[in-house]
Amino acid sequence: MNKRPAPSQKDGKVAVSGHKVSQNETQSHSGGKLPDEDDKKVGLGKKVTLLRGISIIIGTIIGAGIFISPKGILKHSGSVGMSLVVWIACGVLSLFGALSYAELGTCIKKSGGHYTYILEAFGPQMAFIRLWVDLIAIRPAATAVISLAFGQYILEPLFMPCVIPPMAVKLATAIGIRETKNFENAFELSNMKLSGMPLAFYSGMYAYSGWFYLNFLTEEVDNPERTLPLAISISMAIVTFCYVLTNVAYYTVMSAEEILASDAVAVGYKTFAEKMMGNFSIAVPFFVALSCYGSMNGGVFAISRMFFVASREGHLPEVLSMIHVHRHTPLAAVLILYPMTILQVFVGDIYSLLNFMSFLRWLFIGVVVLGLIYLRYTKPDLPRPFRVPLFIPVVFCLTCFFMVFLSLFSDPVNTGIGFAISLTGIPAYYIFIHFDHKPKWIQRALDSFNRTLQIILVVVPAEQ
């Protein structure tokens, strides 16, 4: 591995956990001495408590997924009853994955999530491939999906039809009656196809995705041995309960035909809102847009820490591991996603991006959990403050790989593109990382790039 040596304090650089910014360093990067900067510590710090951890997970999971996914799940599962089974199964499967990540997060106390765990289990080449795919495909596509949903919802009130039943009547109806006609023959399986189930699970797992984001912040979590497992378990129980009840509410008010006939993003929520809220339904898209925005913010907040750690390991440009002198955040690592995200916003639609992203995401998440099983045997003495029963990672891992395998038949185009993109990580690793003797002009360009961004963004180097 071409790992960059950590800078020392005497070089005037800043440690993540608390070395000071030297006067010369501060002057050179901000044009003059910052007030009281010599007395400040620049680092990420351990600010994530149990409550904040739960807030991060729930706030990131509940975004556009609950509004995007129901139609996809219903379409590919074939019936109302099976769609609810898929929602519950995805919640349980997500809990299994989350508990597996909780063990990894408590025995490998480094930020970076997927990247860090693959690096520890399978080495730098596999970790770089995961990083490469995340940087150019998975994360831009995920952010593009929720950005498209945000744009859809924020503009929706301008086009919403005006159906205005009395609010009091609707609220009374919601409290007093639970319609059951849409649940008759709920498990009619004549429209169910096995080849469609992976796409149904992809939609469901997308709605639950976010349970792994706290693992990207391990170094910032207070008492991670206790906080990680508790935050993950509590969050997944709350989210699963809310999601299942939300879908029951959808099916109580709307028939399966109404949901499938609705536009791709809104999932018939307009019909739901109009029936339940009347005139107030025009405000619902704004709240949904805010939910999408919060989820986007949480995702970028967490994933930037993976780029921060990868830069620290020498797998990305050095500037991405630098800390802003005022905000104490890896600003460059936060900004790196925007160009690729904007590209995918304009070249894809929500459901093609969702299938394309899901194949890559669950392939590599399966690899991460396989790494947990591998580490159980290769490093049995590794301290494990939180240890899950072995059947949990085994079931999760097998399910991920089974879904990925079947999706090659369900959606060969998008999954094929995703697989091809992941293979490009192999030559990229040897070109950018493995070969030590790069042409001098390339090295000079990289150095100039790092220095320029360091000055523009007012960031300083950090050590592990």
pLDDT in tens, 151-191: 666 655 555 544 333 333 233 333 333 644 554 555 555 56
pLDDT value for 24: 41
3-state secondary structure of 189: coil
Question: Is 80 exceeded by the pLDDT of residue 49?
Answer: yes
The answer to whether 330 and 336 have CB atoms below 8 angstroms apart is no
Q: How far apart are CA 154 and CA 292, in angstroms?
A: 10
| Helix (H), strand (E) at residue 462 | strand 462-463
Confidence of residue 452 (pLDDT cuts 50, 70, 90): confident
Domains assigned to the chain: 47-449 (1.20.1740.10)
What value does the mean pLDDT take over residues 195-215? 80
Q: How far apart are CA 79 and CA 102, in angstroms?
A: 34
Q: Return the closest-CA partner of residue 399 out of 411, 410, 391.
A: 391
| Helix (H), strand (E) at residue 94 | helix 80-107
Q: How far apart are CA 423 and CA 31, in angstroms?
A: 44
Measured CA distances, 45 to 16, 213, 219, 393 (Å):
7, 17, 8, 31
The answer to whether 453 and 319 have CB atoms below 8 angstroms apart is yes
pLDDT value for 103: 92
Residue 228, amino acid: L
Which of 74-88, 90-104, 119-133, 217-231 shows the lowest per-residue confidence on average (mean pLDDT)?
Answer: 74-88
The answer to whether 48 and 57 have CB atoms below 8 angstroms apart is no
Confidence of residue 376 (pLDDT cuts 50, 70, 90): very high
pLDDT value for 164: 30
What end-to-end distance do the CA atoms of the chain give, in Å?
16
Question: Is 50 exceeded by the pLDDT of residue 425?
Answer: yes
pLDDT value for 394: 94
| Helix (H), strand (E) at residue 112 | none
What value does the mean pLDDT take over residues 112-121? 90
